[in-house]
Amino acid sequence: MAHSAGAIGIFDSGIGGLTVAQAIHKQLPNEKLIYIGDTAHMPYGDKSSELIRNYSTDISQYLIDHHKCKALVIACNTASAAAYEKLRDSFKGKLPVINVIDPMVEYIISRDNIKHIGIIATKATVESGVYQEKLIRRKKELVFSILATPLLAPMIEEGFYNNNISSAVLNEYLSMPELKDIDSLVLACTHYPLIKAQINNFYNSSIPIFDSAEVVARKLKSILQIEQLLNNGIKSEDEFYVTDYSTHFAETAKVFYGENVALKRIEY
Ligand code: DGL
C-alpha cells in the first residue's frame, strides 16, 4: 500500500519528461520526486507498443520495488498510449498511476472555443489512436488533425532547439496540409515544451498551444489529496536517473528542469 511519506515516481523515454517533473515540483514543492529517463532506449516513438509496454513495466516495477513510490506518473505520451492501461491494472489498489493523455483530453474538451484542434506527437502515439479515440468519445463534434512529427523528440534531446535547425524542421512539419486551418495545437509529446516558443512564433501567437505539464501536475495534486497521500513530513532530496549517461544529457536536463539536476546512471 502507498504511504504518504513515499516519493512520486516519474518516468519518460528520455529527459523530456523533466518538463512534467518541473511542473509537479512547482505544484507540489513538499513532495520528493524520483525521475527516470530511459535514455538507453530513447526514442520510444519509433518502437512497437509491446516493447514500450515492456520498458514501462520494468521501470515502474523498479520505482516501486527500489524506491517505494506512492504514485507513478508516466511523463511520456508514447508510454502513456502504449502502457497506461496495463500499469493501472497491475498496480490497482496499490498506488495511483497517472498518464499524460487523459488530463490533456479533459482540458481540451472543457474549452468551448476549440473547434478544430491540431495534435503533434510521435509516430507510436499517433498510430496508437488513443487521442483520436478519447477525443471522439468525449466530444463528437470536435474536428482534429493529428500529425506524427518523429524528428522532433530526438532533435530536442540532441540539443537542437531555438536554433536554425529546429526552425527549419518545425517549418516543414507545421506547414503540412494536415495542420491547415487548426484553431489550437496540442504538443502531445513531453519533449515539445522546449520548442513551444518557436511553434508560437510560427503561428505569430494567433492560436493557443497546449502542453500537458501543468494539467498533469494539477491532476496529480488532486489525486494525492483525495487519496490522502500528500507528504506531511520533511521533504527529502529529489533523485534523477538516466539509463544511459552522457554529459550532454546532463546539460540538456538542466534546461528541461529549469534548475540544476544531478543526473546519475542506473540499470533497472
Ligand atoms: N517524450 C515522449 C512523449 O511524450 C516521446 C519521446 C520519444 O520518442 O521517446 O511521447
Q: Is 189 a catalytic site residue?
A: yes
Could you check whether 8-99+213-265 and 102-212 share the same CATH topology? yes
| Domain made up of 8-99+213-265: CATH architecture | 3-Layer(aba) Sandwich (3.40)
The CATH number of the structural domain formed by 102-212 is 3.40.50.1860
Which of 10, 11, 13 gets mutated to test ligand 1 (max ligand atoms within 8 A of its CB)? 13
User: Residue 136: phi, psi to the nearest 5?
Assistant: -60, -40
State the Cα–Cα distance between residues 111 and 108, nearest whole angstrom: 6
User: 3-state DSSP helix/strand/coil percent for the chain, to nearest 5?
Assistant: 45, 15, 40
- Choosing from 72, 76, 117, 220, the catalytic residue is 76
* Ligand 1, atom nearest to 76 Cα: 4
State the Cα–Cα distance between residues 39 and 125, nearest whole angstrom: 18
| Per-domain residue ranges of the chain | 8-99+213-265, 102-212
Residue 155: the pLDDT is: 93
Q: Give the closest residue (by CA) to ligand 1 atom 7.
A: 43
Q: Is 69 a catalytic site residue?
A: no
State the sign of the Cα–Cα–Cα–Cα dihedral 195, 199, 205, 211. negative
* Distance from the Cα of residue 16 to its chain's centroid: 7
| Tens-digit pLDDT string for the chain (268 aa) | 689 999 999 999 998 999 999 999 999 999 999 999 999 999 999 999 999 999 999 999 999 999 999 999 999 999 999 999 999 999 999 999 999 999 999 999 999 899 999 999 999 999 999 999 999 999 999 999 999 999 999 999 888 999 999 999 999 999 999 999 999 999 999 999 999 999 999 999 999 999 999 999 999 999 999 999 999 999 999 999 999 988 877 888 888 888 888 999 998 8
State the Cα–Cα distance between residues 166 and 32, nearest whole angstrom: 34
